[in-house]
Amino acid sequence: MASTADLAHAAHVLDAGFATSKPDVAWTTLPDGTTARRMTVVAADGLIHPHWAMGFHAGTMQEWVQWATQWAETALHHAGITGTWTVSAEGIVRRGRESASSPRGEDAPPVEPPKSTVEGLPDATQWGQDGLRWGQLRAAAADPLPVLSGPIPPERVQDVVRVLGHLGFPDTVAIGGQRGLTVDVAKIRPPAALAKRILGESATLAGQLGHGELPLRMAYVEGAPGVIAVERPRPDRQFVDLVTALARTDKQTRQSLKNMALPVCCLVKSDGTPFWSDAATWPHLLAGGTTGGGKTVSLVGWLASLMITVPPTRLRISLVDPKAGASFPWAKHAPHVDALVKTPQEVCQLVAQWADEADARFEEFAHGGVEDLAAAMAAGWTQYPYRLLVVDEYKDLKDQLEKDDLKELERNIGRLGQKARGAGLLLWIATQHPLAETIDSTLKANLPTRLALKVANTVGSQVILDSPGAETLLGRGDALFKSSSMGVAIRGQTPLATEGVWQVIRDGWAKKA
């Protein structure tokens, strides 16, 4: 094993070589005209790896991996550092098992490459109890996969402390934080007597930090007494695709997904952690946000994660799209989709049928001595799959219905909301008009789980979340999620389903059939 000094020397050689060979990607120009290193190569924890002083940049990572794969060993050899060196898809350089001084003997058996993928995940890695495997999904994976979080640049925290001092809040201490996809979370500890006042200065702080008139979200950090998290929008925000979010889900969480009936990858939190939840327990969902908030794209990503983690035999989906199918162009060939409903009359009929089916299922459960669909499945019943109805634009639907038809639709939605979850019939309703006249109190009561995207004002946030906050979001998938069992909404970037995902979903379930 190489010593710490040897690794530091090797990292210095590779850092200088990359910066010289690829100056256009290793360096970047700042707004004031000066230049700074976007990425440096460092040695830590026995490894050599990239360090992102200004936040992860996928293009630079790709250039680094390509350069290091081709030139790292040569550069190190010319610097007098011998041996075989390998480069992972994450840009990590480590000394290989073989070295120039101890070659493998001619009679030794050939070394079989491990059956692994971009991230070193075995092909058999699975999401959900009977979901697709990595060997089926990796065709849709980015190579290399982006890193979803990193250390926050210290100046991003110090700027907060400095501005607070100018605003009359001295003696605030910088604690650190994380660099997320959408925001940098700067953690500070102000004097206890000033904390409440600081929390009320979010708009002023935003303006003084150069974020414009959009207030910053600030809140106490759970488990860290006296520490406040200040969410600063990143000037170079990143997005995340669904396959990357799956690959970045840790082993313990993947194991927990096997106990979920309907696992959904809801979002990636600011610390880079993919957040999963069981849609079978929610029970029903209200999603809202203005145009550009990412509402439809977010729901499509959620649907794709369901189609990856749950077999078509256990989940059937119906979609309501007033845009004549434009919101769900992939639905026609999706193995889980039963219907793409386009007219208001068809929606009313379908919701009425589902309300009747919920009643019929409960009668069968009572005869069979089981309480609900989860108990029926545990007892070996296979005739009843979960069914999910997604209504993409509820206001457009309401506007096209006659008064009596609308009243009947709302009555049947109420029937579904009151008891359909136990029968395995789930409802997601979305709107880009989160107004009280669109989403009344009765409907909200039947849709206790909430996904809030960017809204125009505090009123829209109150309609969706029953609290402010969504008006401070940045759009394009920056979201707040709160299930019926959660006290506080969590913020993160919702994953998007790339075009290649639909092909691997179709192919993956076709091969399993």
Instruction: For the chain, give the percent of residues with pLDDT over 90.
Output: 59
pTM of the entire predicted model: 0.77
Domains, the chain, in order of start with CATH, read 4-109 (no CATH), 150-233 (3.30.980.40), 242-512 (3.40.50.300)
Most confident listed range (151-155, 254-258, 410-414): 254-258
pLDDT given for residue 102 in this prediction = 34
User: Per residue in 303-358, pLDDT tens?
Assistant: 999 999 999 999 999 998 877 667 788 998 999 999 999 888 999 999 999 999 99
Query: With contact defined as beta carbons under 8 Å apart, do 398 and 438 qualify?
Result: yes
Give me the pLDDT at residue 8, please.
Answer: 85
- In the numeric block, which tokens belong to residue 429? 């309703």
The mean-pLDDT minimum among 59-73, 149-163, 348-362 falls in 59-73
Q: How confident is the model at residue 146 (pLDDT cuts 50, 70, 90)?
A: confident
**Strand runs (DSSP E) across 148-247, as ranges?**
150-151, 173-179, 183-189, 217-220, 228-233
**Band of residue 118 on the pLDDT scale cut at 50, 70, 90:** low
345-358 as b/e, with b when 16 or more CB fall inside 10 Å? eebbebbbebbebb
Torsion of CA 472, 477, 479, 485, to 10 degrees: 170
What's the whole-number average pLDDT of the chain?
88
Q: What is the pLDDT of residues 21-40, one digit of tens each?
A: 888 888 887 777 778 888 89
pLDDT score at 88? 81
Give the Cα separation of 355 and 333 in Å (integer). 27
Q: What is the pLDDT of residues 262-285, one digit of tens each?
A: 999 999 999 899 999 999 998 799
Whether pLDDT at 505 is above 60 = yes
Contacts for 213 with CB less than 8 Å, ≥ 6 apart: 203, 206, 207
For the stretch 363-414, pLDDT in tens is: 999 999 999 999 999 999 999 999 999 998 898 888 899 999 999 999 999 8
State residue 101's pLDDT score: 34
pLDDT tens, residue by residue, 217-249:
999 998 899 999 999 999 889 999 999 999 999
Residue with the larger pLDDT of the pair 109 and 512: 512
Confirm if 188 and 171 have CB atoms less than 8 A apart. no
* pLDDT for the residue numbered 98: 38
pLDDT band with cut points at 50, 70 and 90 for residue 106:
very low
Cβ neighbours of 285 (radius 10 Å): 24
CB atoms within 10 A of CB 69: 16
